[in-house]
């Protein structure tokens, strides 16, 4: 490996370290920490500890996250109590309003933190609104809809039409044909023959 490649590799490692989540946490932790604690801190050890937390979460171990959330909820609860006491002790209405408003915000954040912790411990179950699950082919019968709409593309519509036209007689199925011209029956012929007999007769003078 040449010196140029070694320099480029080192620069890439440094860049990845700078933008890593662990470095972001490291910078925030060490910015406003107490001097007596910083004097005993080993920066590489802190980075290693942050990487271990990240790896634990990636492997499904949420113990650190759970401990973090419950600690935050406890701190927010303490802040809520402190701000409420401050607001009640002050004699000026404006200061009292400001302190109590901040106290309620701390209480709201505490509740949200506990809800997040509860979701981690017991993930909510998601129910699908509608699920069409089948182990074989499905058949959808739209015969009634087809009969109403006049759709001639499906067999169910043809079956309904036949059922409407079918009439049972003498133990056999007979089909009504609305298009056939009806022939004159015997009763009609008798009526025609009797017509002259019942006609108007002329009286003799």
Q: How confident is the model at residue 159 (pLDDT cuts 50, 70, 90)?
A: low
Cα dihedral across residues 137, 143, 148, 154: positive or negative: positive
Q: What is the reported pLDDT for 66?
A: 95
Q: What is the reported pLDDT for 196?
A: 52
Question: Rounded to an integer, what distance in angstroms lies between the CA atom of residue 172 and that of residue 98?
Answer: 93
> 119 to each of 19, 112, 113, how far by Cα in Å?
29, 11, 10
Summary mean pLDDT of the chain? 76
Could you tell me which of 63, 186, 201 has the C-alpha nearest to residue 121?
Answer: 63
Mean pLDDT of 187-198: 52
Going by C-beta distance under 8 Å and a sequence separation of 6 or more, which residues neighbour residue 80?
A: 103, 104, 106, 107, 110
The total of other beta-carbon atoms located within 10 Å of residue 76's CB is 20
The total of other beta-carbon atoms located within 10 Å of residue 78's CB is 12
Mean pLDDT of 103-122: 95
Question: Is residue 104 scored above 60 in pLDDT?
Answer: yes
């Amino acid at each position: 490996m040449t010196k140029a490649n070694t320099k480029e590799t080192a620069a890439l490692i440094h860049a990845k370290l700078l933008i890593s989540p662990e470095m972001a946490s490291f910078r925030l932790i060490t910015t406003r920490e107490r001097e007596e604690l910083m004097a005993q801190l080993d920066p590489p050890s802190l980075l290693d500890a942050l990487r271990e937390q990240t790896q634990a979460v990636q492997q499904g171990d949420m113990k650190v996250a759970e401990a973090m959330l419950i600690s935050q909820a406890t701190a927010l609860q303490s802040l809520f109590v402190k701000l409420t006491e401050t607001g009640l002790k002050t004699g000026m209405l404006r200061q009292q309003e400001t302190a109590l408003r901040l106290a309620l915000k701390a209480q709201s954040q505490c509740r949200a933190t506990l809800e997040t912790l509860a979701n981690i411990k017991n993930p909510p179950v998601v129910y699908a609104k509608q699920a069409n699950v089948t182990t074989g082919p499905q058949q959808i019968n739209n015969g009634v809809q087809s009969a109403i709409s006049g759709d001639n593309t499906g067999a169910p519509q043809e079956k309904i039409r036949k059922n409407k036209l079918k009439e049972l007689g003498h133990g056999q199925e007979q089909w009504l044909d609305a298009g056939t011209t009806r022939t004159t029956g015997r009763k009609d012929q008798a009526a025609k023959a009797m017509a002259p007999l019942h006609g108007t007769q002329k009286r003799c003078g």
